[in-house]
Amino acid sequence: MSEEIRDELSEFEVQEDEVYRQRLEKFLRMKEETGYDPFKVERYPKRDSVADIRARFEGLPPDGSSEELVQTAGRLMSIRRHGRASFAHLEDCTGRIQLYFREDVLGEEPYGFFKRWVEAGDFVGLLGFPFRTRTGELTVMVREYQLLSKALRPLPEKWHGLRDVEIRYRRRYVDLMANPGVREVFRKRSALISAMRSFLEERGFVEVETPILSPIAGGANARPFVTYHNALGMNLYLRIATELYLKRLIVGMFEKVYEIGKNFRNEGIDSMHNPEFTAMECYWAYADYRDVMELTEQMIAHCALAVNGTLKTTYGGVELDFTPPFRRVGMAEAVREHLGVDFEKVHTSGEALEIARSFGALEGLPKEPSPLLVMSHLFEELVEDKLLSPTFVIGHPVEISPLAKRNPEDPRITNRFELYVMGKEVANAFSELNDPLDQRERFLDQLRKRQAGDEEAHAFDADFVMALEYGLPPTGGLGVGIDRLTMFLTDSRSIRDVILFPTMRPREG
């Protein structure tokens, strides 16, 4: 291996490459000398999981044994050879258990094969008798075994665990086998989604599927991914949200619908953003954003209990309590509380810009913004990261809420909320705009912004306006970021820690 290539690889990868060659040569020798090829094994009758064995024989005393045979299979995580006897640890998806291989139990030839050819990382199936060692460790005395698959690459534990974050994300399969805690995060993610699904279905919501490819990328202000359909001769977009299709279903006489699925946004990557992410959106006819707010906190509390067995958890040393009700605060109140500025008393664009200038937060604002638009900008830049405990923020300006219903008492704002946890948005919801005339005007305003260079402005969706013209009943809608919620319920610092295969930049060469 050249020094240039070595410089591009981690220590683990260099050592792994060298061991790979050694293991491959050993495997080929094994096939040649013994005639056995484990890759030709198609199945193994695994009857007992490690967790089953541990549960059934928990009561064995030290030095105690059972005459009951168990039959299990898994990966050998370590092997300690001692002449005519060897210890190993076998792991499956439910746990780890010690194995004991003895020549006088297995026979000279099977034990010799194990001693010479079987290595840590290999998969084996086995029959054996559970017993407890003098030190109290539950162990299986192996009576028969079969090599089911070879690991031609070494386990990371050989170099004290897999700590290289780059490799952990690129080769998640290695991360999962090396770090049981990572597997637990994804089990909890699965439990969260299952709990959310059961919560909604118990309340009469119907799960649906809407298009991932669409001629218009709508439902959010975001830059889409574009692809080309050869047969139709047209551009299509990966969806950035499921909202507009789901609301069409409410028009079509469904009253409660939801979808859990992937969205795609052609934007930056950081600890809270991945171009491909999972969201749950639900729509509830005859409900408003207050009803949805109660639904949201009840659902998240339900998910927290399902994942952790408690409504309290810790994230980065901060205790989070998901016990309803969550705090409610107006955006104007939050800005006043944290920045000392009362935007109820700001009446002109010039005044608002001077306030933004005083905080060094002019970047990203248009030339003549409304005072409330400046308020929302300051909230986003300087306030939201201070909202650590679960907090509903209400009172969003119309300019940043093109699909939400106006507040009848103050038409400058909408009946909308965002849920913040640890300063990050986890959920977004509103009383849905169902006035087709107002919706058309807001789409036109977004179109003007797009023509002025705002690539994230909402596209004009004429078919959606037509759907509203058929009549959308009063409706409350909600979107929840599954990845972020999983982060906060599992104390994971990066969104990449809760996505099995996060988007990565390819390595050169």
Instruction: Identify the pLDDT of residue 159.
Output: 42
Residues in the chain: 509
CATH topology of domain 179-326+389-497: BirA Bifunctional Protein; domain 2 (3.30.930)
Describe the chain by its helix, strand, coil percentages, rounded to 5: 40, 25, 35
Whether the Cβ atoms of residue 307 and residue 315 lie closer than 8 Å to each other: no
Instruction: Identify the pLDDT of residue 269.
Output: 93
Instruction: Identify the pLDDT of residue 165.
Output: 82
Amino acid at 17: D
Whether the Cβ atoms of residue 447 and residue 396 lie closer than 8 Å to each other: no
Main-chain dihedrals φ then ψ at residue 242, nearest 5 degrees: -100, 0
* Separation CA 34–CA 61 (nearest Å): 40
Instruction: Identify the pLDDT of residue 10.
Output: 59
What single-letter DSSP state applies at residue 83? T
Instruction: Identify the pLDDT of residue 455.
Output: 77
Whether the Cβ atoms of residue 110 and residue 116 lie closer than 8 Å to each other: no
Amino acid at 292: V
DSSP letter for each residue of 104-146: HHH-HHHHHHHHHH--TT-EEEEEEEEEE-TT--EEEEEEEEE
Instruction: Indicate the pTM of the whole model.
Output: 0.91
Name all contacts of 221-230 with Cβ < 8 Å and 24+ positions apart.
Answer: 221/400, 221/402, 221/446, 221/456, 221/457, 221/458, 222/265, 222/266, 222/267, 222/456, 223/265, 223/266, 223/267, 223/455, 223/456, 224/264, 224/265, 224/266, 225/264, 225/265, 225/266, 225/275
Q: Taking the domains of the chain in order of start, what are their residue ranges?
A: 3-168, 179-326+389-497
Among 303, 338, 337, smallest CA distance to 320 is for 303
SS3 235: strand
Amino acid at 335: V
Amino acid at 255: E
In the chain (509 residues long), the average pLDDT of successive 10-residue segments reads 46 75 96 97 98 97 95 97 96 97 98 97 98 96 98 74 77 91 97 98 98 92 94 96 97 98 95 97 98 98 98 97 98 97 94 96 92 97 98 96 94 97 98 96 88 82 96 98 98 97 83
* Cis amide bond preceding 325, omega within 30: yes
Among 129, 131, 133, 132, smallest CA distance to 142 is for 129
CATH topology of domain 3-168: OB fold (Dihydrolipoamide Acetyltransferase, E2P) (2.40.50)
Contacts of 7 (CB under 8 A, 6+ apart): none
* Separation CA 20–CA 81 (nearest Å): 21
Instruction: Identify the pLDDT of residue 4.
Output: 45
Whether the Cβ atoms of residue 98 and residue 139 lie closer than 8 Å to each other: yes
Output the 3-class SS for 364-432. Answer: CCCCCCCHHHHHHHHHHHHHHHHCCCCEEEECCEHHHCCCECECCCCCCEECEEEEEECCEEEEEEEEE
Q: Where are the beta strands (DSSP E) in 175-317?
A: 206-207, 213-214, 226-229, 234-238, 256-264, 276-285, 312-315
